[in-house]
């Protein structure tokens, strides 16, 4: 599968020009952390932007010199000789605004108050992210991306790129995504948010000053999310009805292996992630609708990019049907589009996992993109 990009380093860019959010709020200045892999070619035409999903960040591939286990979250996909080939492309990963991995977010210090933004950090949308990503592109001297690629919430950003900056992106790869969330999907997000909002340690979002973290809420939110990212079959295969101690204890302690797994995942996540960022990310998901409740066919009339849309058969959080809702308006508008439905057992998480056919599809598509931009 080729090697890793090896040792990487996060970079930081500061922006002083205020960013007006869709909500009306204005962020006077902010910082974005990012990483790059591969080399930008002489005509600056081989750049690929990777947009991350709910819990992702700028560390897409490679490892940090001082932390050998810090493998990037999409290292199987991005690297020399890999489907997103860093021998051919200049790949940019960034941490979205509002995140908790270095870019300005609710846990960052607000220079005006000297305290963390907390509840004062504005609610952010996919449109706002794309705006900030375009500014990072300007900063890096990238006029037009060869491709913008994202899975899930990242796919929404990739789609938004084709609408907000039709002339700045040649190809969009939207993987396990949706043009807008359904009621069921919003409902899951709302339960997750409620878990956080009702945690007594939440303090209206300003828990930093109280020296506490709404761990219980964040943990529950992640446990719920995690269930929806896996398929019924994958869970059954991995855990079945297996018991930790081999017998029923007739109590409410952890008995089934799946309970133990979910709590472990919840604890791990709650220790690393910021609850306010989780709230922001889920809201961005809910709000995204390029048609504003209207017709997607007209919304996508602006797009000029070519598209590759990919879904996974067992993904029920962002089902193949949702991906077809992306494909249809593209067909309507005569865009060049290909659509692959990958048979995978791993539900929504499939988009992060190594799968020969999935990788072949991405590789074949990007090989052509590479020929196009190096022609």
Partner 1 sequence: MSDRPDFAAIAAWIPEGASVLDLGCGDGSLLRYLKDTRSVRGYGVEISDRDIVSCIANNVNVIQNDLDAGLADFEDGSFDFVILSQTLQAIRHTEPLMQEMLRVGREGIVSFPNFGYWKNRMQVLMGNMPVSSELPFQWYNTPNVHLCTLNDFEEFCRTYCISVTARSVMTAGHEVGFLPNLFGSTAVYRFQRGI
Q: Which residues of the chain form contacts with partner 1 (CB under 8 A)? A: 308, 324, 327-328, 331-332, 334, 336-343, 357, 360-361, 364-365, 367-368
Shortest Cβ 128–partner 1 spacing (Å): 31
Q: Specify the residue, 142 or 310, whose C-beta has the smaller distance to partner 1.
A: 310
Number of other CB atoms surrounding residue 353 within 10 Å:
15
Q: Between β-strands 115-116 and 109-110, what pairing exists: parallel, antiparallel or unpaired?
A: antiparallel
| Cα separation, 251 vs 337, whole angstroms | 54
Q: Which of 311, 315, 349, 350 is catalytic?
A: 315
Q: Which of 199, 348, 349, 350 is catalytic?
A: 348
Q: Specify the residue, 138 or 367, whose C-beta has the smaller distance to partner 1.
A: 367
Give yes or no: 85 in active site: no
Query: How far is CA 343 from each of CA 25, 101, 228, 326, rounded to the nearest angstrom?
Result: 43, 33, 18, 19
Q: Specify the residue, 15 or 339, whose C-beta has the smaller distance to partner 1.
A: 339
| Cα separation, 125 vs 128, whole angstroms | 5
Shortest Cβ 143–partner 1 spacing (Å): 24
Shortest Cβ 325–partner 1 spacing (Å): 10
| Cα separation, 328 vs 57, whole angstroms | 30
Place of tokens 């809910």: 286
Give yes or no: 152 in active site: yes
Shortest Cβ 338–partner 1 spacing (Å): 5
Number of DSSP helices (H) and strands (E) in the chain, helices first: 10, 16
Q: Specify the residue, 263 or 357, whose C-beta has the smaller distance to partner 1.
A: 357
Q: Which of 45, 103, 132, 152 is catalytic?
A: 152
Q: Is 235 exposed, middle or buried (0-12, 13-18, 19+ CB in 10 A)?
A: middle
| C-alpha 15: how far from chain center | 22
Q: Specify the residue, 142 or 308, whose C-beta has the smaller distance to partner 1.
A: 308
| Cα separation, 198 vs 219, whole angstroms | 13
Give yes or no: 348 in active site: yes
Q: Specify the residue, 224 or 353, whose C-beta has the smaller distance to partner 1.
A: 353
Place of tokens 């604890």: 267
Q: Running DSSP on this structure, what letter comes out for residue 256?
A: B
Query: How far is CA 315 from each of CA 39, 188, 309, rounded to the nearest angstrom?
Result: 35, 15, 14
DSSP for 215-228, please give it: HHHHHHHHHHHHHH
Radius of gyration of the chain (CA): 20
Shortest Cβ 366–partner 1 spacing (Å): 10
> Which tokens in the block code for residue 318?
């962002």
Shortest Cβ 350–partner 1 spacing (Å): 14
- Residues with catalytic function: 152, 315, 348
């Amino acid at each position: 599968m080729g090697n890793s990009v090896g040792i990487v380093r996060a970079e930081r860019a500061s922006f002083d020009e205020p960013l007006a959010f869709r909500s009306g709020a204005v962020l006077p200045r902010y910082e974005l952390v990012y990483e790059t892999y591969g080399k930008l070619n002489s005509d600056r035409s081989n750049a690929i932007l990777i947009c991350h999903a709910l819990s992702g960040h700028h560390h897409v591939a490679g490892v940090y010199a001082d932390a050998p286990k810090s493998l990037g979250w999409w290292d199987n996909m991005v690297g020399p000789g890999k489907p997103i080939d860093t021998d051919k492309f200049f790949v940019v990963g960034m941490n979205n605004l509002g995140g908790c991995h270095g870019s300005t977010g609710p846990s960052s210090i607000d220079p005006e108050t000297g305290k963390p933004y907390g509840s004062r950090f504005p609610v952010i949308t996919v449109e706002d992210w794309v705006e900030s990503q375009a500014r990072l592109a300007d900063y890096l001297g990238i006029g037009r991306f060869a491709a913008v690629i994202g899975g899930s919430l990242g796919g929404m950003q990739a789609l938004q790129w084709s609408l907000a900056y039709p002339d700045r992106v040649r190809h969009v790869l939207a993987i396990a995504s949706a043009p807008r969330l359904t009621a069921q999907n919003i409902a899951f997000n709302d339960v997750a948010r409620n878990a956080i909002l009702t945690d007594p340690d939440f303090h209206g979002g300003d828990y930093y000053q109280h020296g506490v973290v709404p761990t219980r809420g964040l943990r529950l939110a992640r446990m719920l999310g995690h269930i929806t990212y896996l398929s019924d079959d994958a869970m059954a295969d991995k855990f079945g009805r297996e018991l930790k101690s081999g017998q029923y204890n007739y109590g409410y302690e952890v008995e089934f292996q799946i309970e133990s797994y979910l709590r472990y995942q919840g604890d791990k996540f709650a220790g690393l992630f910021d609850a306010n960022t989780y709230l922001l990310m889920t809201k961005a998901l809910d709000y995204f609708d390029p048609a504003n409740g209207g017709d997607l066919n007209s919304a996508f009339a602006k797009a000029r990019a070519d598209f590759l849309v990919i879904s996974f058969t067992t993904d029920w959080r962002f089902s193949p049907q949702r991906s077809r809702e992306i494909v249809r308006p593209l067909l309507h508008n005569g865009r060049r589009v290909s659509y692959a439905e990958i048979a995978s057992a791993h539900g929504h998480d499939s988009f992060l996992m190594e799968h020969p056919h999935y990788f072949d599809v991405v590789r074949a598509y990007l090989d052509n993109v590479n020929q196009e931009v190096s022609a």
